[in-house]
């Protein structure tokens, strides 16, 4: 069965590893994510963004994730990534999502606090944990875009967590969504400072394109959940391109989607190993 991210991330925080959270766009990617986790005996989080949920509704992905979770023995959660509104968060909860992110980071601070409290109040009725973001993570991914980073302030993070009662906090330490145009400057010391004043699990967004060493340092400095999206899309699409180059007359989607889901599964396995969650199910 699907589980929430509450115990999953608390265990990761206490155990000194991170749980990989992988964005899915279709059934093939859901299959790849859970089967990678099953092979490595790792807990795992399937994510969908607001943009993806305009393509297929939350109920569709919730049922996909439920079926996938029932086919494996490891803990699986389905999470709304960068929820754009209370209404979408509510729809996801009502559809069966087991974890929610409300992203009010582009709003003035007090408005971010208010919308986060509203989502948490509703989620509490169902025992669903809520993630929120403080600071601004640069780059672009789907509907999420920021021209520049605004690093998370540790003192403000402590106030935000205390007032909102959230279960996990996404922090801005120099990572960016999408493809990195230049080498990122990561402020892991800031993560250490936040970790000292915030007890809930911390989340790293924008991990696609970071080196394995940077990811490991992020885990060492207190990240309990690490998000991967762009790299999975690239792996999926590149596999289809390669297949169609070699077999241009194939028209059965299973012929080219099969290699794509295997490519994503192998990438997810690599990220699970780097996060240190293999064997932690």
To 5 degrees, how large is the angle CA 22–CA 200–CA 166? 80
Q: Which of 110, 156, 166 is nearest to 135 (CA)?
A: 156
Helix (H, G, I), strand (E, B) or coil at 88: helix
Helix (H, G, I), strand (E, B) or coil at 106: coil
Q: How far apart are CA 175 and CA 185, in angstroms?
A: 8
Q: How many CA atoms lie within 13 A of 218 on its CB side?
A: 32
- Report the residue count for the chain: 281
Task: DSSP for 204-268, please give it.
Answer: E---TT--HHHHHHHHHTTEEEEEE-HHHHHHHHHHHHHHHHH-TT---HHHHHHHHHHHHHHHH
| Residues near 194 by beta carbon (within 8 Å), at least 6 away in sequence | 152, 154, 157, 169, 171, 202, 222
CB atoms within 10 A of CB 158: 16
The answer to whether 81 is a known catalytic residue is yes
Q: How far apart are CA 183 and CA 93, in angstroms?
A: 37
Q: Which member of 81, 103, 142, 153 is catalytic?
A: 81
Catalytic residues: 81
């Amino acid at each position: 069965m699907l589980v929430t991210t509450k115990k999953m991330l608390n265990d990761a925080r206490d155990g000194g590893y991170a749980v990989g959270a992988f964005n899915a766009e279709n059934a093939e990617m859901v299959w790849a994510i859970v089967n990678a986790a099953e092979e490595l005996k790792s807990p795992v989080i399937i994510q969908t963004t607001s943009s993806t949920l305009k393509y297929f509704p939350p109920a569709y992905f919730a049922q996909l994730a439920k079926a996938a979770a029932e086919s494996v023995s490891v803990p699986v959660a389905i999470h709304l990534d960068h929820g754009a509104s209370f209404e979408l968060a509510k729809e996801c909860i009502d559809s069966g999502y087991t974890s929610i992110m409300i992203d009010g980071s582009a709003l003035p601070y007090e408005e971010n606090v208010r919308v986060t409290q509203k989502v948490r109040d509703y989620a509490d009725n169902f025992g669903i944990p809520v993630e929120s973001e403080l600071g601004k993570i640069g780059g672009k991914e789907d509907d999420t875009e920021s021209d520049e980073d605004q690093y998370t302030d540790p003192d403000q993070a402590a106030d935000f967590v205390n007032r909102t009662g959230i279960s996990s906090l996404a922090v801005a330490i120099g990572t960016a969504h999408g493809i990195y145009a230049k080498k990122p400057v990561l402020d892991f010391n800031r993560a250490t400072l936040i970790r000292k004043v915030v007890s809930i699990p911390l989340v790293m967004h924008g991990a696609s394109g970071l080196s394995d060493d940077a990811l490991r340092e992020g885990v060492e400095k207190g990240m309990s959940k690490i998000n991967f999206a762009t790299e999975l899309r690239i792996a999926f699409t590149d596999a289809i391109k390669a297949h169609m180059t070699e077999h241009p007359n194939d028209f059965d989607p299973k012929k080219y989607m099969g290699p794509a889901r295997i490519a994503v599964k192998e990438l997810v396995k690599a990220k699970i190993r780097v996060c240190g969650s293999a064997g932690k199910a």
